[in-house]
Amino acid sequence: MKWNSEKILSISAILISIGTFVVFAYQTSLMRKEQHMSVYPHLQFTNYQNYSRYYKYVLTNKGVGPAIVTFSDVYINGKSKGQDLASYLRDIVIKRNDSIYFTSSNISKGLFIAEKESIELVLLSGENSYNNSVKLYEYIHNDSLEFIINYESIYGKKWKISNKIDLPIKIE
């Protein structure tokens, strides 16, 4: 087999093409990983104006990118109630014959929470008093109640948030 300049140039061109393809594939992989890591929705529960007539309990997406709710439920002493926080609170207020007036928002599967968006889960309304604010706060923050929301990013990364924990927990 004779090596002439044409064969050496041809083989060199093929090797350079293969090397370019490998580098391109690696860069694409890195870009995809970076893109997935840059989307991190971070849901957080917050109390505003505790113990006042203007009390509200808010769910906010403080992360980067939208959150898509995949599950929400209220648990009492570890047992599922099969409802969201708003429905549970309405039932409790009616059951205890309290005259607490509040507006609420339901959290259900498929809800899309945009980046920096806030949802007022519970907001005192009407002629409420300090005592009603205290009752509502205690209904939400009693030891037996846990409100859980599972959500995911647009890339399918999954997290869980609860009124009992401060940070989202990644679900594998």
Same domain, 61 and 85: yes
Cβ(23)–Cβ(29) below 8 Å: no
Q: Tell me which residue of 103, 108, 61, 110 sits closest to 84, measured CA to CA.
A: 108
Same domain, 74 and 157: yes
Q: Tell me which residue of 39, 59, 37, 34 sits closest to 47, measured CA to CA.
A: 59
Whole-number percent of the chain with pLDDT over 90: 58
Same domain, 79 and 48: yes
Same domain, 57 and 14: no
Distance between CA atoms of residues 40 and 157, nearest Å: 8
Q: What is the mean pLDDT of residues 109-130?
A: 89
Q: What is the mean pLDDT of residues 29-54?
A: 86
For 71, counting Cβ atoms within 10 Å of its Cβ (0-12 exposed, 13-18 middle, 19+ buried), the class is middle
User: Is the model's pLDDT at 129 over the cut of 80?
Assistant: no
**pLDDT, tens digit, 9 for 90 and up, residues 74-86:** 999 999 999 889 9
Determine the structural domain holding residue 118 and report its residue range.
43-171
Same domain, 60 and 143: yes
User: Is the model's pLDDT at 50 over the cut of 80?
Assistant: yes
Same domain, 88 and 135: yes
Query: Residue type for 82, please?
Result: G
Give the length of the chain.
Answer: 172
Q: In the numeric block, which tokens belong to residue 98? A: 């309290």
Q: How many structural domains compose the chain?
A: 2
Distance between CA atoms of residues 55 and 134, nearest Å: 9
Start-to-end C-alpha separation, the chain? 57
DSSP 85: H
Distance between CA atoms of residues 65 and 85, nearest Å: 24
Q: What is the mean pLDDT of residues 68-94?
A: 92
Same domain, 79 and 14: no
What pLDDT, on the 0 to 100 scale, is given for residue 1? 64
pTM given for the model: 0.78
Higher pLDDT, 126 or 89: 89
